[in-house]
Amino acid sequence: EPEVTQTPSHQVTQMGQEVILRCVPISNHLYFYWYRQILGQKVEFLVSFYNNEISEKSEIFDDQFSVERPDGSNFTLKIRSTKLEDSAMYFCASSDLGADPEQYFGPGTRLTVT
């Protein structure tokens, strides 16, 4: 069964460093998303991406964040200068173009900023 994959599973970085989180969405999907979950809290939407551009973003997704689809298979989230409060689980998701809005979530990348 096709699935969304994410790498790395755990990333530790120092405050102020740049990190890139990688995702491989399901191959025939056209919508891509990033969500985050701070420990013990709910899952929050960051950004959605369609047709090579951002289609929707939340207040959390400020200038420190960017997304890119560098090739036909990868979808990345870059945090330019990490802060302690960026420590969270980051989930990538993808969905098809059609009547079913289900989003398929990856296993997540746990980002720890020290």
Partner 1 sequence: AQSVTQLGSHVSVSEGALVLLRCNYSSSVPPYLFWYVQYPNQGLQLLLKYTSAATLVKGINGFEAEFKKSETSFHLTKPSAHMSDAAEYFCAVTKNTGNQFYFGTGTSLTVIP
Q: How far is CA 97 from CA 3, 103, 106, in A?
A: 16, 11, 18
- Contact pattern from residue 23 through residue 52 relative to partner 1, giving x for each residue in contact according to CB under 8 A and a dash for the rest: --------x-x-x-----xxxxx--x-x--
Based on the shown chain and the rule CB under 8 A, indicate whether residue 62 belongs to the binding site for partner 1: no
Q: Where are the beta strands (DSSP E) in 17-71?
A: 19-24, 31-37, 43-50, 53-57, 65-68
Nearest-approach distance from CB 7 to partner 1, in angstroms:
13
**Which residues sit at the interface with partner 1, rule CB under 8 A?**
31, 33, 35, 41-45, 48, 50, 55-56, 58, 91, 95-108, 110
